[in-house]
Amino acid sequence: MSGAALWRALPPVGDSIRLRQSRGAPVTSALRQGVYLQSGTAALALLLAAVARRARASKSGATDVLLPAYGCPDIVSAIAHAGLRAKLVDLAPDSPFPSAGGWRAAIDSNSIALLSVGFHGIRDPFTPSVAYSAGLPPGTFIEDGCQVHPMAAFDGSGHSLALSFGRGKPVSLMHGGAAFASTDLVEWLPAVAPATRQWTGFARLALTTRLYNVLRSPFAYGWVTRLPGLGVGETHYAALDTIESMNARVLACLDTSAGWGDAHRRELQVRLRDRLAGISSSVLLDDPWRTHGTEHDWLLRYPLLMASRELRDAACMRLNAAGLGASPMYGRALDAFEGVGPVLSSRGASTHAGAFADRLLTVPLHADMRPEDVDAVLAILRGLESP
């Protein structure tokens, strides 16, 4: 790590968190209809539990939940908690999402639900109507919107949706998630246990949040990443033990519009997108936002698909040596995580997912990222071009 990163190093994601009473959230009637739980994983598990209950009532033996072969292993934890099996659908080449044809081909008589997963604020274009026309049971299209800003997640389509308010999410309180069930699933939602330790839980979270704000500061983060044994940025599969309600005192602090319309973030997104067009394709294979997103997306991080794993690793090393908060994200396809295998219904191909994971690089878009940091990112990428 260079001298620059010793005094200023950007975390890959997340803004400072303030736990204070919200004046107007949830901000829409749709958001008021959610079931608020301890995490986004729990929210997803609750929706899948409703799917499983409905299937049992209809005497269906289907157990497969379709999901992309690249993503957070917490999604598999939610599937396992609901007593279901995960069926991985490979990504389209050089894409964060399966193709529409790949989704359709994966739907069969054993499909009980389909999870559409947002990618850093970019939403999978595959639609519920196409899924249902391909044979997916009605009402079982679920969107994992944990990386999507809540203000962008409601499009009137009526499908089920899970949100997260955990660390590093678009709206973050270090705790909580929300499940929004479609009309087909509402009556099948199981009862949720009340939150434990309301007062002590909030006090502990308040202290944790203050510590988080200190440690994520660019003037402390570089030192944090150098401490052995912390595993900063690592992702592991962990079982979901229980589902309970979101701490009421934390819920009172929720403002689902936080960060929405932030001019600084928008400036960073557009600055990166416009200048990335000048990077050689021998270094940068694709800009996923330009290729798969829309003009109005609120990006959690800016994703870059490098031409090779070697270039991705070289870029990540140089960017972090300059304190610029680069991250390869999960670094592998879902079936490569320890603990995921027993939950899989079958070992399908994840060739494109593995190749995507090998080449993905992300850079920050939070409030501490400056326009000059964007220019430094671009200069480092240009420095990887062959002479």
- Which residue in this structure is represented by tokens 């997108």? 273
* Domains assigned to the chain: 263-382 (3.90.1150.10)
CA distances from 28 to 147, 173, 318 (A): 19, 19, 43
User: Around Cβ 194, how many Cβ atoms within 10 Å?
Assistant: 8
pLDDT digits (tens, 9 = 90+) for 211-266: 999 988 888 887 776 665 555 567 889 999 999 999 999 998 998 888 999 999 99
5, β-bridge pairs: none
* Short-list 359, 352, 367, CA closest to 384: 359
pLDDT value of position 198: 77
pLDDT score of 373 more than 80: yes
What mean pLDDT is predicted for residues 50-70? Answer: 96
pLDDT value of position 1: 45
Q: What is the pTM of this model?
A: 0.93
> Is the Cβ–Cβ distance between 240 and 42 less than 8 Å?
yes
* Short-list 303, 289, 316, 299, CA closest to 380: 316
Consecutive H or E run containing 160: strand 160-164
